[in-house]
Amino acid sequence: MFKVGMIGLGAMGVGMAKNLAKADFLTVIYNRTIEKSQSLAQELNVSSALSIEELATQVNVICLCVSRDEDVLEVIKAISRTVLPNTIVVDMSTVSSHTARQAAAILACKDVDFLDAPVSGGVEGAKNGTLAMMVGGDGVVLEKVRPVLETMANRIVHIGETGSGQATKAVNQIMAAGINQAVTEALAFAKTQSLPMEKIIDVISGGAAGNWFLQHRGVSMTQGLYPAGFKLALHHKDLKICEQMGEKAGINLPLTTQTRLDYEKLIAEGFSDCDISALYHLKVK
């Protein structure tokens, strides 16, 4: 029987926790800002732990979705202090492959399995349980825990060894940078042509240039609204990871670098916590 603990109740984690609860897998939740976990625990009728160490003693599966590499490692170290042997830890944050391997090594000393399982599909995917999940680690462990992950994702693909899930997510983030550039540039151009924005987004969404980002962020961005969504500061963090991996592999990533630099301008203007579609702001300036 699965007893699942969820750590990190941000834009993504809340939807994930709700879907785990719907399937009756969720036992306990933890969030660094404790008020968030306490009110959600009441709503979902599950426990709220006061610490990660407390959560780890109560479950046999731990899912986490926190911000950055250093946050994942901090959480993993806290888990390792009290975790029960044979627990499975699934990290759905977006971090580097190196961090995934470090996390797996820390937990292996405690007889605990680790999967790097970053996701794509946005807050909408997290809410609706329709994320795409790319998994690194032992395939046998993935099959064991698959029923839990299927409450959050409708496409779960085992890529290979530990870290390969995060490397796949880096591919996704490079692509997302290019799509953001293409969509925001095209819509900024559309504005100069005095076109009816909602109509053109509707018709283009149905053709060969249609894509998730245009469909889900097109209208709001052209209204100057960028509610997160996927925080620009988080994609900026991901693109730095991609550039580091690219440099190591000897490949240039010009679109990635351009997008990272554009984000730095927006961060300086106070757009860190806005959705990545705030790139439109730079194009129509």
Residues designated catalytic: 169
Burial 102-125 (b: 16+ CB within 10 A, else e): bbbebbeebebbbbbbbbbbbbeb
CA-to-CA separations, 24 to 28, 83, 129, 133, in angstroms, rounded: 11, 21, 14, 21
> Contact region for ligand NAP (CB under 6 A) — 120-128, 157-165, 175-183, 262-270?
120-128
Q: How far is the CB of 233 from ligand NAP (least distance, A)?
A: 8
Choices 28-36, 204-212, 214-222, 260-268; region in contact with ligand NAP by CB under 6 A:
28-36
* Span interacting with ligand NAP, options 81-89, 119-127, 239-247, 255-263, rule CB under 6 A: 119-127
Minimum Å gap between C-beta 44 and ligand NAP is 15
Residue with tokens 């926190």: 66
The only residue of 4, 5, 6, 8 in contact with ligand NAP, by rule CB under 6 A = 8
Q: Quick check: 15 and 127 in contact, CB under 8 A?
A: yes
> Is residue 11 a contact point for ligand NAP (CB under 6 A)?
yes
How far is 182 from 148, CA to CA, in rounded Å? 36
Interface residue with ligand NAP, options 28, 119, 174, 204 (CB under 6 A) = 119
At closest approach, how far in Å is the CB of 117 from ligand NAP?
A: 11
User: For the stretch 132-147, what's the b/e string if a residue is b when 16 or more beta carbons lie within 10 angstroms of its beta carbon?
Assistant: bbbbbbbeebbeebee
- From the list 30-38, 99-107, 178-186, 253-261, the region that binds ligand NAP by CB under 6 A is 30-38
Applying CB under 6 A, does 15 fall inside the site for ligand NAP?
no
Nearer to ligand NAP, 145 or 241 (CB): 241
* Torsions phi, psi for 120 (to 5 deg): -135, 150
Q: What angle do CA 49, 50, 52 make, to 5 degrees?
A: 75
Question: 15: closest CA among 65, 49, 58, 57?
Answer: 65
Q: Applying CB under 6 A, does 253 fall inside the site for ligand NAP?
A: no
Q: Which amino acid is at 258?
A: Q
Residues 1, 33, 248, 251: which binds ligand NAP (CB under 6 A)?
33
Measured at CB, which residue is nearest to ligand NAP? 10
Q: How far apart are CA 116 and CA 73, in angstroms?
A: 13
- Site for ligand NAP contains 32 (CB under 6 A): yes
Q: Kindly state the smallest distance separating residue 170's Cβ from ligand NAP, in Å.
A: 11
Size of the site for ligand NAP (CB under 6 A): 26
Give the residue, chosen from 47, 57, 67, 211, that forms a contact with ligand NAP under the rule CB under 6 A.
Answer: 67
